[in-house]
A and B are shown apart, each in its own frame.
Chain A
Amino acid sequence: MENKIQHSDVYAIAHHHRFQWEEAQQSYVILFPEGMVKLHGGAGEVIKRLDAKATVADVVADLKATFPDAEGIEADIIGMFELAFEKGWIRKV
């Protein structure tokens, strides 16, 4: 399947999209022409780590290290990659 997320893939925020922390909302948002999404904390933590250099495996490892108490988060992280890619918020580098 074309959209399948591989551990070696590298992603970045999509062109013409902006990801930022919003103080007034206390949340991360993705802004793009004609719309915006407000993300829950975990989703924001994934997107925050996309710098066009880190692989999916790097992101997973970093999140596991940052949140050692969260169990079985890998599937959630991959799920977030899939959702974000499908929605066009992130692009494959």
Chain B
Amino acid sequence: MTQNSLGDSAVQMAVHAQNNGVAANATQTQPLWLLAEITYRCPLHCAFCYNPTDYDKHTHNELNTEQWIQVLRDARKLGAIQLGISGGEPLLRDDIEEIVIEAKRLGYYSNLITSGVGLTEKRIQAFKDGGLDHIQLSMHDITEEINNFITNTKTFELKKKVAAMIKNHGYPMVLNVVIHRYNIGHMKEILEMAEALGADYIELANTQYYGWSLVNRNQLMPLKEQIDEAERITNEFRQKVGNKMKIFFVVPDYFNNRPKKCMNGWGEVFMIVTANGDVLPCHSARVLPNMVFPNVRDSGLEYSWKDSPAFNKYRGDSWMKGPCVTCPEKANDLAGCRCQAFLLTGDAESADPVCSLSPNHHLIEKAIEDSKNPVLASQPIIFRTDKNSKKYASGESTERIEAFHALP
């Protein structure tokens, strides 16, 4: 047996988490990855947030600590191993400490996904003692100006302090930087900042257009040339730092000819439980029409994962239609993202329009053109605020969402 053949056979499966779109080859359906979107409340107001624009509806009926602990136990029985505690800003809840302890007891590899706002010495010590495995910190730019602009908050100095705190407590430094028009020109400096902070991992997540980022698409989308340049700089940097720092560059699907295999397949490896207890196969699934997602208040996770009509609806490829159903590449991407297909075309079963073979691909080409239109691009950003969310949720505002087939 050669080394290579051992290498192939040594690993049954490798799964990497990325915001949307995942490279992996899962061979079975167990919810290996549980994402607990524990609250939609957030002190930041990021223009690119993928949370639903009507999140305000779900900020008054959050699951309590006992319900979250039950979620952790039930998901673990189904095979969940990786736990992401996310939001909103999870640190706005005061029970993260208890959740972390239970996660450790159950054998999860747990990750707190945070802006850093609300992280204190006392809390990070409690997380360390409780067995939290790592903290993923969002960073926005090397400049105070862009950080504060895109998050609509003054958080630049705080983030630097939090990064030091994470390192001092012996945690790996895991950074997530969402890439958009305002910071894509600083790729080299962002990577240098990550290196200076001692980053072990950095995810350069090119904005994908869901939630608030879809509303702000014309304001956020960079040019193709900028993305190519950013990728070139990233590859060059990767050569330089070698194994010391793992760099994930999440390719933006709008500029690809083929769609991403969204969530590594619907109901394949990811399960999300939202602040109010909805159980979803992906972050944005609630935009889809005629779907009833199970809620942990009404039914167990085993039912949700294995038997609920919602989780079974887009498993496999039997639901597909043309051009996907006869496409020789359908197994590579499973026709892309159902949410993107519905939001942009009004048909959830159609090919993801980012695919150049989609009859609706012109919608993506138009979006790219629109983002270059100075009149459209100069419209102000609509920030993720409770006030703006209330306006969308109540129907008071339809600003910049008329073209979409659901509230982003």
List residues of chain A with CB under 8 Å of any chain B CB: 15-16, 18, 20, 22, 24-25, 27, 29, 31-40, 42-43, 75-76, 78-80, 82-83, 88
Contact = CB atoms under 8 A, between A and B. Distances in A.
Contact of B12 (A33, A34, A38, A88): A38
7 pairs of A and B residues whose beta carbons are closest in the complex? A24-B79, A31-B109, A43-B10, A79-B3, A79-B6, A16-B172, A35-B16
Interface residues of B, number: 37
Contacts of A31: 81-82, 109, 133
A28 to B, nearest CB: 10
B77 interface: yes
Contact of B243 (A27, A37, A76, A88): A88
A82 B32 CA distance: 27
Given A43-B11, A88-B243, A20 B107 contact: yes
Q: Is the interface of A mostly helix, strand, loop or mixed?
A: mixed
Interface string B1-22: 1110011011111111110000
Given A16-B172, A83-B3, 15 more contacts: A16-B200, A25-B79, A29-B81, A33-B200, A34-B136, A34-B174, A34-B246, A36-B81, A38-B14, A39-B11, A79-B7, A80-B6, A83-B10, A88-B243, A88-B246
B198 to A, nearest CB: 12
A35 B17 contact: yes
Contacts of A38: 11-14
A40 B27 CA distance: 14
Contacts of B141: none
Contacts of A25: 30, 79
Q: Is the interface of B mostly helix, strand, loop or mixed?
A: mixed
B249 interface: no
B163 to A, nearest CB: 15
Nearest to B171: A16
Interface of B: 1-3, 6-7, 9-18, 30, 32, 77-79, 81-82, 107, 109, 111, 133-134, 136, 171-172, 174, 200-201, 203, 243, 246, 248
A42 B78 contact: no
Contacts of A36: 14-15, 32, 81-82, 109
Given A39-B11, A76-B6, A79-B6, A34 B201 contact: yes
B12 A39 contact: yes
B10 A80 contact: yes
A79 B1 CA distance: 10
A70 to B, nearest CB: 11
A32 B82 CA distance: 9
A38 B3 CA distance: 18
A20 B133 CA distance: 14
Contact of A33 (B6, B30, B79, B134): B134
20 contacts: A16-B133, A16-B171, A22-B81, A24-B78, A25-B79, A27-B12, A29-B81, A31-B133, A33-B111, A33-B134, A35-B15, A36-B15, A36-B109, A38-B14, A40-B9, A43-B9, A43-B11, A75-B3, A79-B2, A88-B243
A43 B81 CA distance: 19
Contacts of A35: 14-17
Given A40-B9, A76-B1, A33 B14 contact: no
Given A22-B79, A31-B81, A75-B1, A16 B107 contact: no
A57 to B, nearest CB: 19
A16 B16 CA distance: 16
A24 to B, nearest CB: 4
A74 B76 CA distance: 36
* Most-contacted residue by chain B among A20, A34, A38, A76 (CB, 10 A): A34
B136 to A, nearest CB: 7
Contacts of B2: 79
Contacts of B12: 27, 37-40
Given A24-B78, A31-B109, A42 B201 contact: no
Nearest to A44: B10
B243 A33 contact: no
B329 to A, nearest CB: 25
A69 to B, nearest CB: 16
A39 B14 CA distance: 9
B135 to A, nearest CB: 9
